[in-house]
Structure 1
């Protein structure tokens, strides 16, 4: 395997050299052929006394175009000498005088020199303009234009099975923090430092391209598919080392996406797109590295089509709310539920929320979706028990949405919804960036009498600062901390600490993802207040949820 890569690596410069030699041979051959053809025409038409000697300027100008000033002068001199040995009149056998052919040689040299100089100046101007177009001005690094051009040069136009080219895209996920703390120049200095380290980490010294303010790309030649993961892990290790920027040690977080073109099976555009999709997947799932998988395309296309149908689906009432019960661990009664959106497609089958909600949360569609969930949940809460609460999931966009607050006020004042039966569930990411603004927004919920709990606690921001200062009423511990408590003593200790923290702050603590009686027993022993999960019930349609609650009440 290693020998194959070595041979491929050695073979590529050889191939490039062969291509250049072939082109040079072709161009030189054309110039010689035209020169010989021109000389033959001059001789056949009577000699240099007639106008045909000017035909020799064609190879001179062509040489000036291909080889600039040196080519123009050399070919002009050769053409002049060829015409010097030519008779003035071949029919009469009259030879040229020295003044005649010397003047012609000077004339050829003058035209060849001027043409060569003009072509040389034009080429230099073009190369200078090309360098500017290929260079990122703030850092001097090669840019997206250079990357695209180089890929077109590297990727073979015809299938060559032995050749594989890898493309790695690297994103500095916390570049915004660097800009906020140190400024734009520091960000440029950082991208230069990261690019240098990444380039040195690639076998043979890679070439880094800056393709956006916080993204770099690396081209890896003659690579095996399995090598990209190893290379990317090495890049993660090297890239995340501290960088001294403006005398401040800076450590950044990287996300990497990679793709590979084997044997000319992809165009540069396709390779760039696949690496981009892989990088976005890494960022979305908070992974260090993701290699492109063809299934990504189908999932992205399906998700794209679904997002395009959301508004129509709302209008056609294809969405519905299902309810997953919450159980009070102290006495086993149903103390509330969580309202979870479901989409029943054209065929009557439910579309999993994971296929559309992550995309919806990053678009303006999250507003209408949340309004729908809140209206349905608010109406449903009027038929629940007096002490039952219904949880509604909110995104950071909803937290600061004035229209959403107006909707809540309308439900409370006009629809007679009891605000104490509503609970807004927010993930920790909603508080990152501006804790004061989040505090003010949450206080507005509390002023209406609506509870607010932290969803998926422990998996994100997890700062004691917001627990102390935000006016929240509950914590929902993520299922990742509940799943291992049956087998791990350490997991039980961590969970006990999280429950104690919640109780110390007078918060209602709910455990998510309960799936076994053992987990329920441990959570009860640790003093957890509430639990929800498949051990009790999955999310159910409204009528099935009511039936489930009635059956459980009869059993207790």
Structure 2
């Protein structure tokens, strides 16, 4: 905006200068015009005076005592009479343009206009001329004075002729036969004098000298010129002002639009920070300065932790407000030489120069982590966020902008893996890990396309009776070259890349189709990732698969984690309630490891709680773990919610859980994940055991049944007798 103001001032100054130049040009033009008009008037007056004097001389051979209202002094009467014989054919020579001339006609229009300003100085006795006769003289061709009149006398005229300029004008008039004019000084006052040569019979006979008095006319014309100049100036200023204001406004609007376009081309529209384009330009220049000065520089890649959760929970306007506040805090905590830019989303980058050593960037990284980790007040909500930072040092970690940005991103990824709200420097091994991760991602896509994944099933048992109650379906991946890939490796990768949707749907469809071959009281448990709720309609997906496979909804348990409940969005709540109405049971997996809240058990339709294996591992050894497990079991009894313990691996753990009243167990003590062949064998064995138990029960109950039959028979006989 300051650039716009400076340019506006330049434009206005230019317009003012142009207006002033126009006014000055107008004044000078007006003055020249009036000057020319006065000279023209003087020329005509001189011509008229010449004719009047010449008439007297040629008629009488001398001059009367008064001519043109001026007293006449005859200095050389005989010589004068000899030069003015009556009846001679005399005429003035042609005159130059100084007084009258060929271009007189071209100025008549201007003359008539200008003379209107000085018409008040004219009188009838002046024959209509504004020029006055101050004095006159008759000179012989040899410069001798023959007669004078008015202000001229012998001394004055001799003094005038002693001036070289005046004498040159007289000589020129005699030599050329043309009227000439000049100025002479009477004291300190300059006065105009005109010389008119007169011919007689083709020969120069005499010269008339006239003092032209234009003081009154000049004063009047000066007043007129001043009035005209002021009026013209006012009109010109007014004429320039309105267009100048309009032009200035339009120019300012255009420049403001251009400045806005240039700003948006190099800045982020939301935060006002430099965008990717400006950041790359600055980074490239910083690398050149780094090489020239032989001093390290750093690129810091920043990413807000859990920003997507905040955006989804509070809405995009709140997310935008958070980004703006983050930008403000970043500006306040970097040095003047540092550049903060926004690449997009919640990604920011800092270019830090003038470092003496790579360790000099540590205070900056710590300040940023501290500043961005403080509570934000967004739309009436207290929002807690933090940032993870990856740091790449030039020229150690790269000598190009692409290398530095890439390596800073790798370090950022490691910072997020190491717990977030921290910073990490780039290490070469990170690049190898990234390449491995990318290769694994590509292989996972191939595995989905070529059906290289398979499902294993881990049994769940009723702890009180020891009977099989169901199986949990678990996705497994056997890589063609790397062997078995742990679920803890490929499932988080699937969540990050969006592949969890097709994988989760495939597991549910495969397991549900297979579970239809199990006994009707054997249930199927399938895990749902929180990411699935964001990328697909879970309710429709479950309903469609149940319809396709014919699996009963009451036999299906969908396991969710507490991180999904943290979202507490209307979509999640609506989905869980719709699944509950469908007849599907909801189980809370890994209970106790996240942000456990008893309100979840009343707000959401949870039918089962699964105690995380981390508490079961130290059961009986760690008092706190034992107390937590005992409390969870008691809570389940109070809320009439089924409690399942995961990761049971010892008999002691099983006995403690049974003593406290835990409903179900799952773990290697009872059986690990199994393929379909082993599951089929186990299900068949379970069915045989149940049949055997049923037969034993029947045999055990036969005497009782016979006794009851005899009692009924006696009762019937008694009724017949009665």
TM-score (norm 1): 0.63
User: Using a 3 Å threshold, how does the CA distance of structure 1 residues 180 and 420 change in structure 2: closer, same or farther?
Assistant: closer
Instruction: For 1:125-524, list aligned pairs within 5 A.
Output: 133-155=265-287, 163=296, 165-171=298-304, 173-174=306-307, 176=311, 180=315, 183=318, 186-187=321-322, 189-199=324-334, 207-221=339-353, 222=355, 232=365, 234-243=367-376, 248=380, 250-266=382-398, 267-280=400-413, 282-283=415-416, 287-289=420-422, 291=424, 292-310=426-444, 312-314=446-448, 316-347=450-481, 349-362=483-496, 365-395=499-529, 396=533, 397=535, 400=538, 402-412=540-550, 417-433=551-567, 435-460=569-594, 462-524=596-658
Matched with 2:665 is 531
Contact 1:168/1:257 (8 A) holds in 2: yes
Give distance in 2, aligned partners of 1:522 and 1:233: 48
Bigger Cα displacement from structure 2, 469-478 vs 273-282? 273-282
Say if 1:237 and 1:519 are closer, same or farther in 2 by CA, change over 3 A.
Answer: farther
Check the 8 A contact 1:189/1:245 in 2, yes or no. no
The 1:300–1:189 alpha-carbon spacing in structure 2 relative to 1, beyond 3 Å, is: closer
Q: Shift of the alpha carbon at 1:338?
A: 1.2
Q: Conserved in 1, the CA contact under 8 Å of 2:392 and 2:411? A: no
Do the aligned residues in 2 keep the contact of 1:327 with 1:530 (CA within 8 Å)? Answer: yes
Cα pair 2:273 2:341 within 8 Å, conserved: yes
Aligned partners of 1:408, 1:285: CA distance in 2, in Å?
40
SS at match of 2:474: strand
Distance 1:303 1:261 in 2: 23
Residue segments in structure 2 that go unaligned for 5+ positions in a row: 1-256, 694-722
Task: Answer yes or no: is the 8 Å Cα contact 2:610–2:645 preserved in 1.
Answer: yes
Are the equivalent residues in 2 in contact too, given 1:242–1:249 (CA < 8 A)? no
Deviation at 1:522, TM superposition (A): 4.0
Determine the structure 2 residue equivalent to 1:57.
none
User: How far apart are the structure 1 equivalents of 2:362 and 2:634?
Assistant: 41
Contact 1:327 1:336 in 2 (8 A): yes
| More divergent stretch after superposition (225-234 vs 275-284) | 225-234
Structure possessing the higher radius of gyration over alpha carbons: 2
1:105 corresponding residue in structure 2: none
Q: Equivalent residue of 1:475, what SS?
A: strand
The count of aligned residue pairs is 423
Structure 1 range deviating more: 216-225 or 374-383? 216-225
SS in 2 for 1:544: helix
Q: 1:179–1:186: 8 Å Cα contact kept in structure 2?
A: no
Q: Matched residue of 2:672: which SS?
A: coil
On the 8 A contact 1:514/1:534 being kept in 2, the answer is: yes
Q: Distance in 2 between matches of 1:220 and 1:514?
A: 53
Conserved 8 A contact 1:197-1:239: no
Distance 1:427 1:152, change over 3 A: same
CA–CA separation in structure 2 for the residues paired with 1:370 and 1:452: 16
**Aligned partners of 1:330 and 1:186: how far apart in 2?**
55
Within 5 A, what are the aligned runs for 1:21-60?
none
Return the offset for 1:257.
2.8
Superimposed CA distance per residue, residues 22-70 of structure 1 (whole angstroms, 9 cap, x where no aligned partner)? xxxxxxxxxxxxxxxxxxxxxxxxxxxxxxxxxxxxxxxxxxxxxxxxx
Deviation at 1:144, TM superposition (A): 2.8
Kept in 2: contact 1:398–1:404 (CA 8 A): no
Q: 1:376 & 1:251 partners in 2: Cα distance?
A: 42
Q: Is the 8 A contact 2:415 2:423 kept in 1?
A: yes
CA 411–192 in structure 1, closer or farther in 2 if over 3 Å, else same: same
Evaluate the alpha carbon distance shift between residue 149 and residue 459 of structure 1 in structure 2; reply closer, same or farther with a 3 A threshold.
farther
Report the Cα distance in structure 1 between the residues aligned to 2:402 and 2:374, rounded to whole angstroms.
32
| SS in structure 1 at match of 2:334 | helix
Deviations 1:187-236 (A, max 9, x none): 35412343145437xxx985433333433333445376678777645533
Offset of 1:408 from its aligned partner?
Answer: 1.2
Relative distance call for 1:356 and 1:298 in structure 2 (3 A) is farther
Q: 1:237 to 1:290 in 2, by over 3 A?
A: closer
Larger RCO (CA under 8 A, 6+ residues apart): 1
Aligned twin of 1:13:
none
Structure-2 change in CA distance of 1:367 and 1:437 (3 Å) = same
Q: 1:161 to 1:421 in 2, by over 3 A?
A: farther
Counterpart CA distance in 2 for 1:230 and 1:540 is 53
Gaps of 5+ in 1: 1-124
Q: CA deviation at 1:423?
A: 1.4
Distance 1:256 1:185, change over 3 A: closer
| 1:471-516 CA-partner distances (Å, limit 9, x unpaired) | 2321122233434444432333333333333333222122223344
